[in-house]
Each structure stands twice: as C-alpha cells, then as structure tokens.
Amino acid sequence: MLRLPRDSNIIINFPNSHRDDLSRHIESYLTEIRTITRLNNIQLSSSIQLSKYSFRDYLTDDIELIFNLNDDQQTRELVEKHEERLSKQVEKLNDDMNINETIMKFHQENNDAENIEREQRRREILIEDIKLTKRRHETFVQLAQKRTIIEKKNKRS
C-alpha cells in the first residue's frame, strides 16, 4: 500500500483515445476514491502539470496516474515502495499461474470438462493480468530510471 501525505496531488490522466468516456465514468467515482484514499487532491485532467517531484504510473494504456509530491525524499521513498509493490504483484500472479496449471492437470487427469473450461478461462485472465502488470512494472522502472538520470544531470550543473 502506498502511504501518501494528505496534501499529495494525484492526477488521473487519459493520454489516449476514449478520454471523454473514461473521464465521465471515473468522475462519478471521484468522491468515493477521495474518501477511500483520504486524499482530497485527486483530479481528472487531460492537461498535465508536473511538479519537480512528480512520477507516473500507467495503469493501462488509457489511464495514467500522476503523483505530484512535495520533496525529493518523499518521491524517492514512494517510488521504491511502488516498484516493490508492482514487483510483488508480478510474483503473485506468476504463483497463481503455477497453481492454475496444477489444477488444470488434475482436472485433465480426471476428465472433468466443466472444471477444465473454468480453469482455462481463469488462465486467460491471469495471462492478461500478468502482461499488464509486467508492462506497468517495466514502464514504471524505466520512468524512475529516467528521473534518476535527470536528477543526476541537474545536480552536476
């Protein structure tokens, strides 16, 4: 879980197509999201305003979260925790896939067509979840690395 200061500014951005549809859909949940996260500064935006201490996470190709934080220390800690969380999420999904394979073998040995079909559907969902989470993790790591490189260049100047 990411623990953000209450004054953190989070922007939900829609960088690709279907921006209006997604924005309207999520907007109806903003009050609930603010209540659950205990953060007031969550907004929808198509125009991005990054702070010096911003970082991004692409939830999907159509939804991007932008975290505008207050200082470098806070940003570094949050980036490390978020990368660790995404990494653990990938590991868990891979474990779930292994369990699914074991269950599939069991049902195949017992010629249980109904459960084989159910597990195949579950497997397809897991495959998509793994792809999305790996892509999120890789993109996040790349963005974090670029940010570090940029910070190092700025310190040299």
**In terms of residue numbers, what domain contains 17?**
9-68
Same domain, 63 and 89: no
Length, in residues, of the chain: 157
Going by C-alpha positions, the residue among 33, 75, 38, 26 that lies closest to residue 55 is 75
pLDDT digits (tens, 9 = 90+) for 44-89: 776 667 777 777 777 777 777 777 777 777 777 777 888 888 899 9
148 confidence band (pLDDT: 50, 70, 90): low
Q: How far is CA 68 from the centre of its chain?
A: 16
Check residue 54 and give its pLDDT: 77
The residue out of 41, 68, 95 marking a domain boundary is: 68
**Which one is predicted more confidently, 116 or 82?**
116
Residue pLDDT, tens place only, 125-143: 999 999 988 988 887 787 7
Q: Is residue 1 part of a domain?
A: no
User: For position 150, what pLDDT does the model report?
Assistant: 47
